[in-house]
Amino acid sequence: MMNKEVIKQIELTEHKHSRGFSSVGLRSSSALNTDPFLNLDLFKMSEPTFPPHPHAGFSAVTYLLPESRGAFRNRDSFGDKSLIMPGDIHWTQAGSGMLHEEVPTEVGPDCLGFQIFVNLSDQNKNLPPKAFHVSAHQMPELIDEVSKLRLVAGQYKDLKSPLNELATPVTLLDVSVEIGGSLTLALDSQQNWFMFLMDGNGTISGKRKIEKHQALLLSKTGEQIILSAHTARLRILVCGGQSMGEPVVWGGPFCMTSREEIQLANTRFQNGQMGHLEPSF
């Protein structure tokens, strides 16, 4: 099989936003083409930070890493109340618009995970809001002596995630490789693939050096990559999805394909069509 190439590699910076929240972020407006992903933030949160807020036109996804010391409580304006435990994923497909709030279940322990924004195609931006939840024990895994792969979303080889009704199907792989080990990943050539390095250092396919807090865009050509860890265990979120190639227009917390659609979303919000949600703090 032919190896994929790294066609872009960028450094990511950690930002401390408040006393209880910091993140390392990747934006679709950067030099990386992450379509259909809009934003990814590797975050730490130790206290309630964001009060109820609206979203429309995309999905807001929270993946709490298995090693997270804290858990989240999620509420939205259409009645979902979910406990997001370490290793769980909660997928808020905002569609035409809704409000949500996610806060730590207790102040102090760090909640460690990813907040991911996944775009909805123009024809799906006004779908009724819907929430999906998958617990850690439901996620398929592949484990050997030197590596571990958790299928957080999508499909990998014969493994399938319970997240099977998403309007924007994507693949999320939480991958770790121990020091001195290697892992070959088979990646569907029909998807747009990139990687977010959480920790460690090593190489891709024996030549490109990689390390903590970098993002890498992979070539369309090729069907696999070989990840090798050097002096620290590699930890990577590997992301893939079908590119939409549609305009991305932001209007505050709303993402549409035109200014007119942004105005309509604002009108829905002002008219209460996105529901109501009282703050918990």
Asked, for residue 28, whether it belongs to a domain, the answer is yes
Asked, for residue 276, whether it belongs to a domain, the answer is no
SS3 269: helix
Q: Provide mean pLDDT across the span 196-203.
A: 98
Q: Provide mean pLDDT across the span 267-271.
A: 98
Asked, for residue 279, whether it belongs to a domain, the answer is no
Nearest to 32 by CA among 2, 61, 62, 11: 11
How confident is residue 207, by pLDDT bands cut at 50, 70 and 90?
Answer: confident
The answer to whether the beta carbons of residues 258 and 247 sit under 8 Å apart is yes
Residue owning tokens 């924004």:
117
Domain CATH number, residue 186: 2.60.120.10
Nearest to 170 by CA among 237, 121, 92, 241: 241
- Reply yes or no on whether the pLDDT at 30 is more than 80: no
Domain count along the chain = 1
- Find the Cα–Cα–Cα–Cα dihedral 136, 139, 145, 146, rounded to 10°: -90
Q: Provide mean pLDDT across the span 160-164.
A: 94
Work out the mean pLDDT of the chain and round it to a whole number. Answer: 96
Query: What is the DSSP annotation of 133-172?
Result: EE-GGGS-EEE-SSEEEEEEESEETTEE-S----SS-EEE
How confident is residue 223, by pLDDT bands cut at 50, 70 and 90?
Answer: very high
Domain, as residue range, for 233: 6-270
- Reply yes or no on whether the pLDDT at 29 is more than 80: no
Asked, for residue 280, whether it belongs to a domain, the answer is no
Asked, for residue 56, whether it belongs to a domain, the answer is yes
